[in-house]
Chain A
Amino acid sequence: MTKAFLSGNDAFAEGVRLARPQVISIYPITPQTTVVERLSEMVEDSSLASELIHVESEHSALSCAIGASAMGARTFTATSSQGLLYMAECLQYASGGRFPIVMMNANRSTALPWNIYGDQRDSLSQLDCGWIQVYVEDAQESLDMALQSYHIAENPLVSTPVMVNLDGFVLTHTYETVEIPSQTDADRFLPPFQTENKMSLDNPKNLAFSVGPDNNMEFKYIQHKAMLDSRRVIEETDAKFAEIFGRSYGGLTQDYRIDDADYILITLGSITGLCREVVDELRERGEKVGLLKLRFLRPFPSDDLVAALESAKAIGVLEKDISFGYEGTVYTNVNSVIAKNGLHLETYNFIAGLGGRDISRENIKEIFRHLQTGGQHVNFIGLGVSIDE
């Protein structure tokens, strides 16, 4: 183990190096670019033995990863924003074909107006594409989830691709101290990739085939079941990771001071740290507040949410997303769990940080005040206020 001062992207690249992918397809896009730059340098200086393929588009990057995965290779690619959207067709080929590809997505706003700054509208618009979706908070969790994602994706019960989401710039371009595990420990955690779901001359089979109405629905059900089963694999993976590396993230969600909390804020990604500090500050004043970080959006952590929220009076969902004409998509998902389980609590949605707008400590305090006093259900934070003021 060594300590280094790395950006979120650098840290993720270190995690990918430790996972030893055999094929990496790359197509740079801001703010993902430095991940594929670091991986190129690693291949160049032989610290990573991998076939690095510089393709001509994001559509090709994922197609290439699918082809390599269909040969039984551990594969990696990365993208962001419009690049992810350009991949949309291939996302469903990868998940439907059950190829356990790991992809990093640098969360960035979507056009138009064109903008390269961070928000979560790119990946949340692809929530239904059949990929496991993870949202990480800091550079260490980025590195750790690069490794863990292969462990989850390649489990034969799961055999589903994983998209790891890092908030653009705020996480991808912020440098901080990161522990880099040894290759020996990484190898102990993550065995080489083995699969039956591959082209093989010794064991020829049909892959990526057509299925008509007579059986198609069964394939989709099996795919859904694998995603549901991944919840257990995610928790087992976290436990195994903790045993070897001494860090645990709690599985699908991570809670903070929720035991007797009346008001709980639900977060995803890099804003979680600041929200924890605000929880501490309000707790010192005697306010019963807590926080629940959603680490996985698919599979959706329904059981964790019920357990965490059942005694709360009001909860808020803070997300960098809006589904135009309705509300934030994470909020819709959370409300569904609350309705199905008959929880009696008020729910509020806080849409913030679109197109890279800063979310301040004061914003988070306002959100907790709103949870306690009540008010509108869907709220846009910092709307109409210049960040320079």
Chain B
Amino acid sequence: MIEIRWHGRGGQGAFTAAKILGAASLIDNKFSLAFPSFGPERRGAPIQAFNKIDGKAIIDRSEIKACDYLIFLDESLFSTDYLKDLKDDGIALINTATPEKFSAFSQIQTIDANQIALKIIRKPISNTAMLGALASISDDVSLSSLQQASDLYLSAASAAKNQLILKESFEYFKEVR
């Protein structure tokens, strides 16, 4: 089972990203759960969202303890303490404009998702860019399924632009590699 934890701030779309990823897994004929950190939500306050993805129905609804991917929509939420929550070959994916800060850690991959989002939607909402990046570094979800699924959770006007964001962030990692 692939287990993912999203870190963001209220309003950055972390849970929307988790829902899009879950719906994309359904398109890929896999099973998934998507759930938010439970409880009250406030704009700007740290929130978490979670995905479990598997080839069979998922009946374990307990909290995720060890992650295949940790995804930080906001680098101010990152702390090296979180790296111990990764599985052995797990990856932390961080949205940052200063990748050199993280170059000492082999488990960390970075992308300037804000810059891609600002260019296309003129807002620093990085959730779909981080999804595109995830599809690029992982075999667990495909870009085409994410593109189909994002249409389900985003308004028509925003969906078209987010298709561009998904594609650009996906290609960014292909180039880096």
Contacts and interface: CB of A to CB of B under 8 A. Distances in A.
Interface of A: 3, 5, 30-31, 116-118, 138, 168-171, 173-177, 270-274, 276-277, 356, 358-361, 387
A45 to B, nearest CB: 15
A173 B38 contact: yes
Nearest to B18: A175
Given A175-B35, A176-B31, A270 B26 contact: no
B101 interface: no
Interface in B142-156: 149, 152
B84 interface: no
A176 B33 contact: yes
B51 to A, nearest CB: 9
Contacts of B8: none
Interface string B148-168: 010010000000000000000
Q: Chain B: interface residue count, which band?
A: 20 to 34
Interface in B34-53: 34-36, 38-40
Interface of B: 18-19, 22-23, 26, 31-36, 38-40, 58-63, 65, 149, 152
Nearest to B152: A5
A274 B59 CA distance: 6
| Residue among A3, A170, A177, A358 with the highest chain B CB neighbour number at 10 A | A177
Contacts of A387: 63
A176 B36 contact: no
The 6 A-B pairs at the shortest CB distance, nearest first, are namely A273-B59, A169-B38, A5-B23, A174-B35, A175-B34, A358-B63
A294 to B, nearest CB: 17
Given A173-B36, A270-B61, 12 more contacts: A116-B40, A118-B38, A169-B35, A170-B35, A174-B61, A175-B23, A175-B35, A176-B58, A177-B31, A273-B60, A274-B59, A356-B38
A116 B37 CA distance: 13
B63 A276 contact: no
A272 B63 CA distance: 15
A264 to B, nearest CB: 18
Contacts of B61: 170-171, 174, 270-271, 273-274
Nearest to B23: A5
B34 A5 contact: yes
B50 to A, nearest CB: 9
